[in-house]
A and B are shown apart, each in its own frame.
Chain A
Amino acid sequence: MMRDTNNAGPDLLRTGIGLRGPHVATILAERPTVSFFEVHAENYMDRGPALDALLAVRRDYPVSLHAVGLSLGSAEGIDREHLARLKALADVVEPALVSDHLSWSVSGGAYLNDLLPLPYTEEALAVVARAIAQAQDTLKRRLLIENPSSYLRFRSSTMHEADFLAELVRRTDCALLVDVNNIIVSAHNLALDPSAWLDRLPAKAVAEIHLAGHHRSDADGKTVLIDDHGARVAPAVWYLYARAIERFGPVPTLIEWDSNLPSFSVLIDEARKADRITRNTVAEARYARAA
């Protein structure tokens, strides 16, 4: 549904926008020409007024559900109760896409509220593949798996993250959500090459791209990139995004912004920029093929 925007008017933004509470009134009043909105699923699992607002948006726009709570990488297994709540929400919202992360958040029953890194090992691969299969069975749809932003890697890792994701796709037929900002952040923090990272991903499985801002922290004489979704998309991320579009084609793209949330018009501006880069990159690729 979201890929086919050929029939849309010239003003339609192909790039979607992360829906945040303070913008809902503006969106409902102004009906901007955005092709889809994405929400954090966990903010709508209580059947109160927040869900009413989401369903009001849903009447006019496709919605993507982006979960943070399945904890697909937990050795103790997926949280079944949470999975059931996600399914119940999906039944009401009828989302275009449902996604979660290649990470874990639950240990000993405690939810740690962060997308924590996994060791990329055979053991972890089996754990995550089982959880994805379970989630897809329950949701009765393909789940998109997002690469997290990382600050550490484990000595026990035997695989590159991109190869780990490719193997998950092979085993579970899941799709991928490539967060280009997370690749830049992780590659910097782990001293890896972001372009090579992108090139290792299985292009056919990529069903969505995320773009967001990060900030640089220079504590202790080392520069660390912190993924805070609190700024405009950085130049390095736009460059890698163009490369991603070149490799994956014009996949649905989303602008995410969480901390220091600006006015909605700033997000529209970022979405326009993503649209422009996609259009130019696709046109160039066509030209290159024709030449």
Chain B
Amino acid sequence: MLALLELQGALRDALLDGNTKRILREVDERGVGAVGALAIYRNHVRISLTAALRTTFPVVCRLVDERFFAFAAHAYIQANPPAGPCLAEYGSSFPDFLTSFAPCRGLPYVADVARLEWALNLAQIAPHVPRLDHPALAALPSVAMPRVVFTFNPSVRLLASAYPVDRIWRANQEPVQAGVVELGGASRLQIHRAASGPTFKSLGPAEFLFSQALHLGLPLGEAAEGALAADPMFDLAFELRRMIQDDVISGFTLAEKEKTP
């Protein structure tokens, strides 16, 4: 008879890896019987976790079809079981898993669609935060503006892909329209939660660079320089206004003044 810690480890091995050798000796044969009972538990773990992944990654499931999705999900669950019971938080490494999952090699855009779905999921479960204190920002003297470091709303994610994941995602929403999505064209997306729910919008190259720099915590001056270098027509005031209107920026601080020698 195993001590409780070992017994639980043995049942875990049976459920995740199908390795029932150690646990079978521990189970009473009366009733359902050991083999049948272990199959019921194993099935439940796999089916319920696959369902949780399908809820978070519905478009990936549609792209690869149900059976392939279940096949990929089982391999993922075995190698990366959840770390906690809040299943909306399960699947953060599923996109990376799909990148390296050999059977997925013919569908290189699938992992990026998964990244978009994960970002939408994070937008859905992100906590509420108050909107930006706009008057406080407007009251800053203009010389201080380049030193402004923005805090982003926790629902915001930025995603760049070599594939048009936005068009692929839209083409796979209910009701699905028959048609072909051209795979040419990169995408640069800002994902966030709007009043109506999680959403995303496509940004231009300079706008994306600008958002990315700010999201990394670089001060406004530096972020603007980078965006202007990429596109001299970059409209800083317009872009800032848009980000505030979208509730993408939720706060700000001032970076230390650079010490002049």
Contacts and interface: CB of A to CB of B under 8 A. Distances in A.
Contacts, number: 142
B32 interface: yes
Interface in B60-103: 81-89
A114 B30 contact: no
Contacts of B9: 107-108
A42 B86 CA distance: 5
Given A68-B85, A111-B81, A46 B125 contact: yes
Contacts of A118: 4
Interface in A199-243: 219-220, 222, 224, 226
Interface string B33-54: 1101110110011001100100
A109 B83 contact: yes
A82 interface: yes
Given A107-B9, A111-B85, A189 B26 contact: no
Nearest to B41: A114
A48 B32 CA distance: 42
Contacts of A43: 86, 88
A265 B211 CA distance: 48
A76 interface: yes
A110 B8 contact: no
Interface string B154-192: 000000000000000000000000000000000000000
Nearest to A127: B4
Contacts of B127: 46-48
B3 interface: yes
A112 B215 CA distance: 35
A13 to B, nearest CB: 30
Interface stretch (A153-161, A165-173, A283-291): A153-161
A103 to B, nearest CB: 11
A4 interface: no
Contacts of B48: 113-114
A219 B37 CA distance: 12
B22 interface: no
Given A74-B8, A224-B32, A79 B84 contact: yes
A151 interface: yes
Contacts of B34: 152
Contacts of B88: 43, 46
A156 B28 CA distance: 9
B1 interface: yes
Contacts of B27: 152-155
B3 A152 contact: no
Contact of B4 (A79, A123, A153): A123
A114 B124 contact: no
A75 to B, nearest CB: 4
Contact of A123 (B3, B30, B87): B3
Given A49-B124, A123-B3, A224-B36, A112 B81 contact: yes
A226 to B, nearest CB: 7
B15 interface: yes
A222 B8 contact: no
Contacts of A155: 1, 25-28
Contacts of A109: 83
B31 interface: yes
A224 B81 contact: no
Given A75-B4, A114-B15, 4 more contacts: A75-B5, A119-B26, A154-B7, A190-B28
16 contacts: A68-B85, A69-B86, A75-B5, A110-B82, A111-B81, A111-B84, A111-B85, A112-B45, A114-B48, A116-B41, A151-B32, A152-B27, A154-B7, A156-B1, A190-B28, A224-B32
